[in-house]
Amino acid sequence: MERGLYIAASGMLAEQARQDLIAHDLANASTPGYKPDRVASKSFGELLLHDTRSGNAIGGLGLGAQIDKQVTDMSPGPLRDTGEPLDFAVEGDGFFAVKTAAGVRYTRDGQFSASARGTLVTATGDDVLGPGGAPVRIGTDGRVAPAAIGVVALTNPRRQGDTLFTGTAAGAGPGTVRPGALEGSAVDPVHTMVEMLGSLRAFESGQRVITTIDSTLVKAANQVGSDR
């Protein structure tokens, strides 16, 4: 019975981690270029139970659940025209390269602006890099030619913040730069809310299991005490 407590608690912990990711995705449902995270759970393992009298196998007993892996869904988000001269979107595969304090990072968030130095920068002030690796300069007309912005092919992208990624640059990406547009968040709020409700129900099921086992243990302890 005590094993049942651990199994239920492990399932609750896994669902709690899943809910944290879902909540983070919902908070970024309107963040340009945001990619949602997905988690997969697995069992700790199973015990094969046997009848102590006959030795015949009864069946397996799970030992609990744990988060197996967390991956980022890199599916493209919807593109929308904004008409802003410094908004850009990547149509197809590829990333914008930006120079951060921690080194070169990559993003699909093309909501850029002009710096005091006349360069194209992200919302956090990081320089956007061109095909040659130099910061992109803004023209005297306040615009940037799409060809001046580099699109990088990236292998094994790994999230570094909400919209930044690291990975291995593999030359120019096949995608094209679309001016006056942004890639929206890839989070589907309706689908994500359904996921959150399902996770919440699974969490509550674990709570009910623990409450039931606890009540049973209390009753057993009281009966044993009264028999004496």
pLDDT at 135 over 60: yes
Q: How far is CA 224 from CA 210, 220, 227, in A?
A: 21, 6, 5
* Predicted pLDDT of residue 218: 78
Query: Looking at per-residue confidence, does 157 or 218 come out higher?
Result: 157
Please say whether the beta carbons of 89 and 174 come within 8 A.
no
In this prediction, residue 48 has a pLDDT band, given cuts at 50, 70 and 90, of low
Task: From 63, 55, 49, select the one nearest 11 (Cα to Cα).
Answer: 63
Q: What distance lies between CA 43 and its chain's CA centroid?
A: 21
Q: How far apart are the first and last CA of the chain?
A: 22
For 65-89, write each residue's pLDDT tens digit.
666 677 899 999 999 999 999 999 9
pLDDT at 183 over 80: yes
Query: Looking at per-residue confidence, does 49 or 219 come out higher?
Result: 219
Mean of pLDDT values over 200-222: 82
Q: What is the DSSP letter of 148?
A: G
Distance CA 14, CA 206 (A): 11
How many other C-beta atoms lie within 10 A of the C-beta of residue 157? 17
Q: What is the DSSP letter of 73?
A: -
Query: Which distant-in-sequence residues (6+ apart) come within 8 Å of 20 by Cβ?
Result: none
Q: What distance lies between CA 127 and its chain's CA centroid?
A: 25
Domain boundaries defined on the chain:
2-73+187-227, 79-183
